[in-house]
Amino acid sequence: MDDKLIIDLYWQRSERAISETDEKYSRFCHYIAYNILGDDEDSKEIVNEVYLKAWNTIPPNRPGILKSYLGMICRQLAINRYQAKNAQKRKADTPIVLDELGECIPDKGCEEVGDGFALRDALSRFVASLPVRARRIFVRRYWYAAPVSDIAREYSVKESYVTVSLLRTRRKLKAFLEKEGFAV
């Protein structure tokens, strides 16, 4: 079913909206949740929570792109779930992803100017400035929390290529954040 029709179902408060969403986007949401949580059962729960959240927020919202809307909800819920539990016991790449992102934190010499909005804005500008492939690899890793092996397979490159690309992008990001005045 077309996304617009699904959103209309939400607005009509038709429970069919949930089943149609499940039909079309359950895999997508599960993929995101599983990457972050590394647990099938937890991921299934998150997917159900996504539907509930969507049900409660549409209306008043009318997402322009339902897929990304659901993805963002799913990612946020999964991160919340991850943080609420013992991360070390998880099989997912999230601890590694967090460590990798930790490398991007500027060391010193910058003023603390970053609130959430400014940081999000800076990150959006940074990501938009990346070459296409580097951007896709970066987003896949740090937005979708995808394993390096998955990314390499998807883009038909070697894992070493992905690793090096991520390393260089993180270095760029660190320099960018320093330049933008963000600090620990």
Partner 1 sequence: MTGNDLLLALGGLDESVVLDAAPSEKYKKRSAGQIGKWTVAASFCLMLSLALALMLSKLIFQPIPDGATAGGVQAPDKGYTFNINERVDCTCGECFFVINNICLTSTVNGQLADNGGYLILEAEASTNHHWLTSSDILLGFDKTVKNVGYVFDEALSEKFSDTKNVFDRDTIEINGRVSYIFKLDNETYQELVAAVLDGGHGENVFNPGVSWCGGFCLYIFDFDDIYIVSDYQ
Q: Closest distance between partner 1 and the C-beta of residue 27, in Å?
A: 6
Toward partner 1, which CB reaches closer, 12 or 57?
A: 57
Q: Closest distance between partner 1 and the C-beta of residue 157, in Å?
A: 9
Both tokens of residue 74? 């799913």
CA distance 52 to 129: 35
- DSSP secondary structure code for residue 87 in this structure: G
Give yes or no for residue 48 binding partner 1 (CB under 8 A): no
Number of residues binding to partner 1, judged by CB under 8 A: 60
Give yes or no for a contact between 32 and 71, defined as CB atoms under 8 angstroms apart.
Answer: yes
Both tokens of residue 37? 């949580």
Give yes or no for residue 51 binding partner 1 (CB under 8 A): no
105 Cβ contact list (under 8 Å, min separation 6): 174, 177, 184
Residues in contact with partner 1 by CB under 8 A are: 26-28, 30-31, 34, 40, 43, 64-65, 67-69, 71-72, 75-76, 79, 83, 97-106, 114, 116, 119-120, 123-124, 127-128, 135-140, 142-144, 146, 150, 154, 158-161, 163-164, 167-168, 182-184
